[in-house]
Amino acid sequence: MPRTALPPETLVLPAPAKLNRLLHITGRRPDGYHELQTLFQFLDHGDTLTLRGREDSELRLSPRLPGVAAEDNLVVRAARLLQAESGCRRGADIHLAKRLPLGGGLGGGSSDAATTLLGLDALWGLGLGLTQLARLGLALGADVPVFVHGHAAWAEGVGERLTPVELDTPWFVVLHPGVTVSTPAVFGAPQLTRHTPPITMARALQGGAASWRNDCEPTVRALYPEVAHALDWLATRAPSMLTGTGACVFARLDSEAGADCILAEVPEGWQAFKARGLNRSPLHAALGR
C-alpha cells in the first residue's frame, strides 16, 4: 500500500524522554529553588509532534490532554513565546502523540516544549540559534534547555548550566507504578536531603554508574509506597534508581535481551518500556542540527 504524502510544510519530530542518571541536591536558594547537580541522558523513546504551518497566526493543538487546559500546555506556551519573541505572524497546527506519562520524571512536557521551539523555528524559517532557543526554553522550565541543546549533559544550578558529556549507552527498563508524584511535595518535605557536598563533573564521571544516586529517592520512597515497591521489585533484577522526583524508576541493562526478560515479568497495573540510552537527541538528528 503506498504511503500517504504529508501536506507541505509539515514536520514530524520526536520529543525524547530523559533520565537523571545522577541527581544531587547541594543547597536551597533564598527564592526557594534548589541547587542541583545532575546527569541528563536521552532515550530513544518519547512523544511525537506533528507540526504543520499556517499562514494565519492561530495555534491549534490536538488532542487536549486530560486535566490540562490548552493554554497551560507547554507546547502552546512554547509556540506563543516563540511568536512573541520573534515577531512571527505565522501559526501552526500541532498534533501531540503522547507516550510518556505525565509527571513521571521523564521530562515529557519539557521535551515537548523543546521540540515545539526547534520545530517551529525550522518551519517558520526563523533561524534562531540554540542559545537563544534555550534561553526561551528556560522561561518555560528548568529542564527545557537540555532538550534544546540536544546532548547528554552534566547540569548545575536549577539544571540550566549545562556541560556536554559522553555517557555509556546501555539498555534501560523504565517502570511507572501508576501513581502521580507531586514535585512540590518532594522538594518541600522536611526530610529531603538538601546539603550533599558538591562534586566536580570529572569526579562524578570517574565514579561511574555504580556510584550514582538520586537524593530525592529516600523521600519519594517514604511518601509513595508504590514507588518504593517498584524500586524494590526492579532492584532484584538489575541496579535500579528513581529519575527526577519520579514516579518512574529505571534499571540499567547490558543487553536488549536482558531488558526483554524484565519486561516479560512486569506486574499487571504497571506501565513499562525498554529504551536505549542516547548521548545525542533524536530531535537534533531529525532536524540535521
Chosen domain end from 149, 165, 181: 165
CATH number, domain with residue 160: 3.30.230.10
101 is in an annotated binding site: yes
Question: Is 286 inside any structural domain?
Answer: no
- Active site positions, annotated: 18, 143
How many domains is the chain partitioned into structurally? 2
Residues 175, 143 share a domain = no
130 is in an annotated binding site: no
Domain that holds residue 118: 10-165
* Nearest CA among 62, 112, 115 for reference residue 286: 115
Residues 260, 200 share a domain = yes
From residue 108, alpha-carbon distances to 49, 195, 229 in Å are 12, 28, 23
Lookup: cell for 173? 527498563
Question: Is 180 inside any structural domain?
Answer: yes
Backbone angles phi, psi at 187, to 5 degrees: -70, -20
Question: Is 132 inside any structural domain?
Answer: yes
Question: Is 51 inside any structural domain?
Answer: yes
Chosen domain end from 141, 165, 189: 165
Cell numbers 512536557 correspond to 109
pLDDT of residue 63: 94
pTM (predicted TM-score):
0.94
Q: How many CA atoms, within 13 angstroms, populate the side-chain half-sphere of residue 260?
A: 3
Element of type H or E holding 225: helix 225-235
Question: Is 148 inside any structural domain?
Answer: yes
62 is in an annotated binding site: no
Question: Is 285 inside any structural domain?
Answer: no
Residues 261, 179 share a domain = yes
Residues 264, 131 share a domain = no
pLDDT of residue 64: 85
Residues 184, 245 share a domain = yes
Residues 239, 152 share a domain = no
Q: What is the full per-residue pLDDT of the chain (289 aa) written as tens digits?
A: 445 555 558 999 999 999 999 999 999 988 878 999 999 999 999 999 999 999 999 999 999 887 777 788 999 999 999 999 999 999 999 999 999 998 899 999 999 999 999 999 999 999 999 999 999 999 999 999 999 999 999 999 988 899 999 999 999 999 999 999 999 999 999 999 999 999 999 999 999 999 999 999 999 999 999 999 999 999 999 999 999 999 999 999 999 999 999 999 999 999 999 999 999 999 999 999 8
Element of type H or E holding 287: helix 282-287
pLDDT of residue 1: 43
